[in-house]
Amino acid sequence: MKIAVAKGDGIGPEIMAAVLHIFEAQKVPLTYEYVDMGKWVFDKGFSTGMTSEAQATIERLGILFKGPMETPKGKGVKSINVTARKVWNTYANKRVFQSLHGVDTVFSKAGIPIRITVLRENIEDTYGGIEHMLTQDVAVSRRMITRPGCMQFLRYCFDMASKQQTKRITCAHKANIMKLTDGLFLDCFYEIAKEYPDLKADDIIVDDLAMKLVIKPQDFDVICLTNLQGDIMSDLCAGLVGGLGFAPSANIGDVISIFEAVHGTAPDIAGKNIANPTSLLLSGLMMLRHLGFWEDAATIENALLYTLEQGQHTGDFGDKSTPALNTTQFAEAIISNFGKQPTQNPVPSLPNNPITLNIVAPKEFHMLVSPLHDKETVAGVDLFIESEAQPGEVGEKCLQHPGEKFTLTTLSNRGTQVWPKGSLFTNCANVYTARFEKKGDKIRMQDVLDLIQRVSTDFKVCSYELLEQFGETKGYSLAQGQ
């Protein structure tokens, strides 16, 4: 079976060489086609961080195994790591965090075992990177959460949890504040939970989760999160088990999947052959299991666990009174322990059962569309207008423009109502949201455009959002204090 390999930047080539050496010593039946990705590709003028040949190879093979990669700072380019996940719709990011004997943490010293799987939606949320400056003082980011995207991701979460006989699956969210976006994510979670009655499904507010992970991490099993919150909580969980150097990562899609180390490129030690390859190795083991090489993965993981139990370590962890191994020596130590079993938590071995990768290129973009068809009506429009005037003055001018179709109901600033009532203790930026709600039964898009034109005689209209209603459900939020 052939897979695509990107060595990465900084320490990437060293740790990738160590991991592939371990695979070859185990005689894992893989061959590798190396692809050009990373900072050095950016520096050659490729704005995506990969060559067109690399993209074609990955789309032909379906599997990418990649080292850590750096995105140049201050050059207006997108992260190659995020781009790769989004371009190939690897919608589920899976990271497994477990206590490793020989990697000391406050929890291991207290005898508290940890095994947490964090599943992070990988495509949507603020990671869409859809941002605009409305004025020189006001930046806005669009946080897009879609029902089909949530259902696609959460169905994978429940299916994975069911297959690995998970006892508890938890949805972490901020639906108490972001009632539409996180609320949609939470609704989809419980909708799919009905199909898995044997799984205990519950939810927790994400800041409460952060506290409880630090106090009692052993209470959690599988946690599902949106993109940004999942990114943050993943790093928190990595800290519970020793850091990102022990945190594997898989990005799973329906066709293409990516397995990678998620720590940095560590340019300060690049080329010194002292980097810790454990994170990339554990990610590689996730890849082997994904491909059906269960026996090979178990042999290598048990050897790794045995090596750690024996106190062998690289310089970034372990007993500082014992000599540290370099990257190559650590890989050789693991190879020498093939066939040995750790005393704690040995991995059961299952026979290899390789899958068949049959990648068929789609002929067109796949559209994710919900089957819901509630009656859709427009209840009004929010106009985002620039002004440094006081709310009362802005309100008086806006009152001149509703016409026969609309009523001005409120002005808010940074999400807080400031007109027709408000508090003088509320500080305002120079973008107001003027909410115009419909008077009659129906308004047309042309009515909205005519309103914008009228209001623009007094203000710069930076942006607008329709107030959608679906059946009896309002598709828009109220301002604070409204």
Which CATH number is 397's domain given?
Answer: 3.30.70.1570
**Domain shared by 313 and 360, yes or no:** yes
Any bridge partners for residue 115, and if so which? 98
Q: What SS3 class is residue 11?
A: coil
pLDDT band at 208 (very low <50, low <70, confident <90, very high): very high
Tell me the per-residue pLDDT of 295-354, one tens digit each, with 9 for 90 and over. Answer: 999 999 999 999 999 999 999 999 999 999 999 999 999 999 999 999 988 999 999 999
Residue 377: which H helix or E strand, with range?
strand 376-386
Q: What is the number of structural domains in the chain?
A: 3
- Do 335 and 402 belong together in one domain? no
127 and 237 share one domain: yes
Q: What is the pLDDT of residue 81?
A: 87
Residue 45, pLDDT score: 84
- Looking at the structure, tell me whether residues 410 and 282 fall in a common domain: no
255 in any annotated domain: no
Token pair belonging to 184: 């949609």
Q: What is the pLDDT of residue 199?
A: 95
**Pairing relationship of beta strands 406-413 and 431-438 according to DSSP bridges:** antiparallel
Please give the share of the chain, as a percent, with pLDDT higher than 90.
Answer: 86
Gyration radius from the chain CA atoms: 26
What's the chain's average pLDDT?
Answer: 94
DSSP state for residue 102 in the 8-state scheme: T
**Per-residue pLDDT, 407:** 97
Are 432 and 394 contacting, i.e. CB atoms less than 8 angstroms apart? yes
At 465, which amino acid appears? Answer: E
Task: Please tell me the distance from the alpha carbon of residue 314 to that of residue 455, in angstroms, as a whole number.
Answer: 65
Give a yes or no: residue 73 inside a domain.
yes
Question: Nearest 5 degrees, angle CA 121-CA 126-CA 129?
Answer: 115
Answer yes or no: is 168 within a domain.
yes
The answer on pLDDT for 388 being more than 90 is: yes
Q: So what's the pLDDT on residue 75?
A: 59
Task: List the CATH number of the domain containing 136.
Answer: 3.40.718.10
Does the N-terminal peptide bond of residue 420 adopt cis geometry, omega within 30 degrees of 0?
yes
Contact between 132 and 107 (Cβ < 8 Å): no
Same domain, 117 and 195: yes
388 and 320: one domain?
no
- The three-class DSSP label of residue 474 is strand
Same domain, 211 and 293: no
Cα(117)–Cα(195) distance, integer angstroms: 21
DSSP 478: P
The amino acid present at 163, given as its one-letter code, is K
- Shared domain for 10 and 133, answered yes or no, is no
What is the C-alpha separation between 181 and 226, in angstroms, rounded? 10
Could you give the CA distance from residue 36 to residue 52 in angstroms, rounded to a whole number?
A: 9
pLDDT in tens, 407-463: 999 999 999 999 999 999 999 999 999 999 999 888 999 999 999 999 999 999 999
Mean pLDDT lowest for which of 43-47, 329-333, 362-366? Answer: 43-47
Q: How far apart are CA 20 and CA 8, in angstroms?
A: 14
List pLDDT tens digits, range 139-195: 999 999 999 999 999 999 999 999 988 989 999 999 999 999 999 999 999 999 999
Whether 268 maps to a domain, the answer reads: yes
E strand spans, 165-296: 168-173, 200-205, 222-225, 248-252, 257-261
DSSP label of 479: P
Q: Is residue 482 part of a domain?
A: no
Residues 363-377 have a mean pLDDT of: 88
Q: Do 233 and 108 share a structural domain?
A: yes
- What are residue 32's DSSP bridge partners? 3
pLDDT recorded at residue 251? 97
DSSP 325: P
Give start and end residues of each alpha helix (H) in 203-243: 206-215, 227-241
Domain-terminating residue out of 313, 336, 366: 366
Please check whether residue 253 lies inside any domain of the structure.
no
Q: Is 248 domain-assigned?
A: no
- 152 in the same domain as 211: yes
- Do 348 and 384 fall within a single domain? no
pLDDT of 51-93, one tens digit each? 999 999 999 999 999 999 987 776 567 788 888 999 999 999 9
Looking at the domain assignment, is residue 257 inside a domain? no
pLDDT(387) > 80: yes
Is the pLDDT reported for residue 400 higher than 70? yes
Measured between alpha carbons, how far is residue 370 from residues 10, 149, 376 in Å? Answer: 43, 9, 14
In this structure, the answer to whether residues 156 and 193 fall within a common structural domain is yes
Secondary structure of residue 3 in the 3-state scheme:
strand
Which residues span the domain enclosing 383? 376-474
Kindly report, residue by residue over 212-265, the tens digit of the pLDDT: 999 999 999 999 999 999 999 999 999 999 999 999 999 999 999 999 998 999
